Structure 1
Amino acid sequence: MAGEARYEELMRQFSAFGAVKRELGRILPSDCPSGSTAVLTLLSRHGDMRMSKLAELLVVDMSVTSRHVAHLAERGWIERSPDPADKRSRIVRLTPAGWSQIDELSRRTTRLLEERLRDWSDDEVDQLTRLMQRLRSSFDDCRTTAHRPPQPPAEPPAPPPAPPALDQTTRTPANT
């Protein structure tokens, strides 16, 4: 039961983390909601990519990705171009204005985190970063294995051992 209580407390902390995310969301420009920010951030980290890859990284449906991309393209922060390898697909890339927007978003979030975590030591911030990366990695592992088809065993399982032979003789007590 001690393990269960530990995970219940972890769930309470995840719920409380929602307040942190909401506050981070409040510092975003009104024309750059969190979904758009996620697209810009992924493009800045991973470079140009197909819309399908972007949807995969966002872990959302392609229609949601398309709405985010359209919103950002209207503002001139990204551009879409045909994929030379497959003209039906689109490659998405940041524009210079998009890079400027990323810089502004980074400045805003950095200032807020510095303000809120000013009484944390560098080691504590580093530890939180490592633990959050590890948590994310654990969930990424679950997501990729959930979609993977079951793999056949390397070798067929060994047959179960045969039950011991029953002694068919009946014994009666000896008269002594």
Structure 2
Amino acid sequence: MATKQECSRLARQLSALGAVKKAFDRTLPSDSPPASITVLAILKQHGEMRLSRLTELLGVDPSVASRHVAHLAANGWTSRRPDPQDKRSRLLYIEPRGEQVLREASLRCTDALADSLTSWSDHDVRLLTELLARLDESLEGRRTHTASRTTRPPADQTTTR
């Protein structure tokens, strides 16, 4: 079991990842903000979805997700179509141009990493990748557990004082 001392050291190192992310963000074209690339990556990974599902996956307010989607649609990177399960709803999906933008962003980030990690072995990169994935899984379990504890009961089950 990890000690608090080692977790503290890890927390300090993880805070530095913000600077790493900003460096990668600067490699993106000016018309491809990081949030747009994130939305495109989610659509590529999970497939078409309703805006409510995208909002969940992003962990943002629906108005924020709507602004991101509006930017993507204005650039022709995403489109919407009626949901066959519920014609009142719309499904958001990535267009071929959006896939191209996502590929370009991925290549730029990969090139930036390759340039920065020239002294690293493939083994070290693989190990870091595996450990970061494991950390993400552990944190996802905690986020899911915390979300289930903080979910409010339905309106008909609330108590009044």
Q: Please classify the TM superposition score into its range, dividing by the shorter chain length.
A: 0.7 to 0.9
Q: Hey, what does 1:52 align to over in structure 2? A: 52
Write the letter of the residue equivalent to 2:34: S
Structure 2 residue 69 is matched with structure 1 residue 40: no
Q: Which entry has the higher C-alpha Rg, 1 or 2? A: 1
- Following the alignment from structure 2 to structure 1, what is the Cα–Cα distance between the partners of residues 149 and 30? 42
Runs of 5+ consecutive residues of structure 1 not aligned to the other structure: 151-176
Tell me, yes or no, if the aligned pair for 1:51 and 1:89 is still in contact at 8 Å. Answer: no
Deviation at 1:7, TM superposition (A): 2.0
Write the letter of the residue equivalent to 2:141: D
Q: Hey, what does 1:129 align to over in structure 2? A: 129
Deviation at 1:149, TM superposition (A): 5.3
Deviation at 1:50, TM superposition (A): 1.5
- Following the alignment from structure 1 to structure 2, what is the Cα–Cα distance between the partners of residues 102 and 35? 12
Structure showing the higher helix proportion among its residues: 2
Paired residues in the alignment total 149
- Following the alignment from structure 2 to structure 1, what is the Cα–Cα distance between the partners of residues 143 and 5? 25
- Following the alignment from structure 2 to structure 1, what is the Cα–Cα distance between the partners of residues 142 and 5? 23
Deviation at 1:3, TM superposition (A): 2.8
Give deviations 1:16-68, integer Å, cap 9, x for gaps: 11110010010111111111110011111121112111111112122111111
Identity across matched positions, percent: 48
Describe the SS at the equivalent of 1:49: coil
Regions of 4+ moved over 4 Å:
none
Describe the SS at the equivalent of 1:60: coil
Write the letter of the residue equivalent to 1:37: I
TM-score (norm 2): 0.86
Deviation at 1:74, TM superposition (A): 0.3
TM-score (norm 1): 0.79
